[in-house]
């Protein structure tokens, strides 16, 4: 019976408020994630941070541990740590990177004043998730800030399509500014390229 009980205990997520005798090496990445989520939900962010840091020593390349640890850093607004962790996660996941990871990575880079890198990440996210409103909006704003008018034009055009006709007056004004900054010839080429992509 004791063996059965022991197996049952290890098969279930360990979610306990007692952090004094925590041995990270005995927990799976899934158990670590649930423990950290529990701590954050209880507003015990400092304890969640300790668990996250210790977990990264044991599981430095585990996607689940990197993801939850980066979320803790975002909650703490430790933007440099968030950027570092999300870069590691992005390098591991590559084409499997989720939309939420792009959103968090863009936000962390922006808050860490790494605007050029944030725009690059937003452009990658836009290519992968063109229907994700937050990613497209971030891409448009960053492109305007950095005067990348071609990207701004494309992102704003997508935003207008996503939002539909109501409440797009501001977007259309911004789009017009992008058009003026680009010049008519460049805008025509962009429209032609978009048209050929639609045909394909």
> pLDDT by residue (tens digit) across 59-103?
999 999 999 999 999 999 999 999 999 999 999 999 999 999 999
User: Which tens digits make up the pLDDT trace of 12-45?
Assistant: 444 444 554 578 989 999 999 999 999 999 999 9
DSSP letter for each residue of 135-163: HHHHHHHHHHHTT-HHHHHHHHHHHHHHH
User: Which tens digits make up the pLDDT trace of 92-145?
Assistant: 999 999 999 999 999 999 999 999 999 999 999 999 999 999 999 999 999 999
Structural domains of the chain, ranges and CATH numbers in brackets: 12-96 (1.25.40.10), 116-200 (1.25.40)
Tokens encoding 60: 């430095």
Q: Where are the alpha helices (DSSP H) in the chain?
A: 2-11, 29-41, 45-58, 63-76, 79-93, 99-111, 115-128, 133-145, 149-163, 169-182, 184-199
Tokens encoding 154: 């494309």
Q: What is the pTM of this model?
A: 0.81
pLDDT at 171 over 90: yes
């Amino acid at each position: 019976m004791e063996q059965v009980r022991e197996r049952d205990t290890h098969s279930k997520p360990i979610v306990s408020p007692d952090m004094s005798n925590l041995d990270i090496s005995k927990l799976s990445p899934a158990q670590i994630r649930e423990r950290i989520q529990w701590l954050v939900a209880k507003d015990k962010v400092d304890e969640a941070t300790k668990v996250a840091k210790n977990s990264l020593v044991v599981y430095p390349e585990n996607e689940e541990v990197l993801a939850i640890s980066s979320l803790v850093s975002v909650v703490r607004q430790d933007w440099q740590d968030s950027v570092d962790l999300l870069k590691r996660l992005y390098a591991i996941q590559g084409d499997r990177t989720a939309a939420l990871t792009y959103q968090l990575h863009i936000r962390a880079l922006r808050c860490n004043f790494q605007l050029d890198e944030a725009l690059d990440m937003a452009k990658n996210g836009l290519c992968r998730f063109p229907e994700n409103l937050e990613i497209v909006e971030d891409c448009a704003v960053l492109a305007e800030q950095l005067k990348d008018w071609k990207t701004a034009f494309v992102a704003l055009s997508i935003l207008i399509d996503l939002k539909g006709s109501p409440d797009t007056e501001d977007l259309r004004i911004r789009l017009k500014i992008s058009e003026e900054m680009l010049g008519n010839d460049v805008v025509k080429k962009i429209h032609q390229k978009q048209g050929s992509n639609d045909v394909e």
